[in-house]
Amino acid sequence: MLLPNMKQILNNKTFRLWRRSVREGILQMWRNKFLSITTIGLGVVILFLLNFVFGVSFFADYSLKNLESRADFLVPLELKYDPFEYKSLQNELGQFSLVTSFRKAETFGEYAIEPRLHIKFNDLQEVPAVFKVLKKKRYEAVVADWDTEGEREFLIVVEKLLTGRTILEKITLVMGSIFLVGGVLLAINAFQIILFSRKREIFVARLVGADPWFIVLPFIIEGLLLGFMAFFLGAVVFTVALKQVTVLPAGEIFEYLLSNIWMREFWLSGAVGGLGAWIAARKYLFGRLEK
């Protein structure tokens, strides 16, 4: 049963089209060795720079998270507070992403420190809302004199951290978009040269009524292969370079790229190559027949 099915698949028109396209795509890469090497080399440079942007972005985000993990605030409590109101305060704070711990009153010689509520924030965007809860009138019997100056200074630090994160995200998005557009333009330019050198063959194929996919699919396959090869070489070069930079957390950056970036980058690189080939081929596929 298996052999007849396999024979049927091998004789399938779609399968034969793809098999021919893959073979022709590989042969075209070999025939245009210099242009292929140049295109791959430029693709490696683009992907290296893109990985550099992602790596620096991760390092900056990694540093910001370290700072954010230290973001905590001490709230002085009354020596004799209402346990019921304190429980209500704890319940209301439970809606936020934070960790609270109670610190008992302490005495150091002549100095006495009131009991305190230690708040450790996990999301700095919640800080203003948490402070608003702590300053509610109903909790005046629980919270001692509110440190307005301490609140202002803490909010300034939080605002700077959040602004830094927003700027970082925008820079990463803009740089990623620039390199993506650059990759597409590079692929289009490369395939315009390739297609121009083979326009007579395309003219003959169209003249005899060949299906557009029969003509263009080998070029799309070639674009996919060029994109995939550029990705692999770019990843290797970046990994080697990353190991030489001792000031960066190379292991964490590599793990981040491997887990979150490179699989998408792999498919995107192939898609950019294939899209570039398709855009460049449209002129010869659907334009006016010319010798």
| pLDDT at residue 266, as a whole number | 93
Instruction: Summarize pLDDT for 135-172 with one digit per residue, the tens.
Output: 888 888 888 878 888 888 888 888 887 887 788 788 87
| pLDDT at residue 80, as a whole number | 81
What is d(CA 187, CA 200) in angstroms, rounded to the nearest whole number? 21
What is the three-class DSSP state of 76?
strand
Tell whether the model's pLDDT for residue 290 goes beyond 90. Answer: no
266 and 197 fall within a common domain: yes
In the chain, the number of structural domains is 2
What is d(CA 146, CA 230) in angstroms, rounded to the nearest whole number? 59
Angle, helices 148-197 vs 212-244, to 10°: value is: 130
Tell whether the model's pLDDT for residue 256 goes beyond 50. Answer: yes
29 and 99 fall within a common domain: no
CB contact set of 218 (below 8 Å; sequence gap of 6+): 20, 21, 24, 25, 28
**Residue 155 placed within a domain:** no
What is d(CA 83, CA 90) in angstroms, rounded to the nearest whole number? 10
| Residue type present at position 14 | T
167 and 53 fall within a common domain: yes
Instruction: Summarize pLDDT for 68-85 with one digit per residue, the tens.
Output: 777 788 888 888 877 888
On whether the pTM is more than 0.85, the answer is: no
Token reading at 231: 């990705």
User: Given the structure tokens 């005495």, which residue do they identify?
Assistant: 107
225 and 170 fall within a common domain: yes
| pLDDT at residue 2, as a whole number | 46
Q: Which domain holds residue 94?
A: 78-143
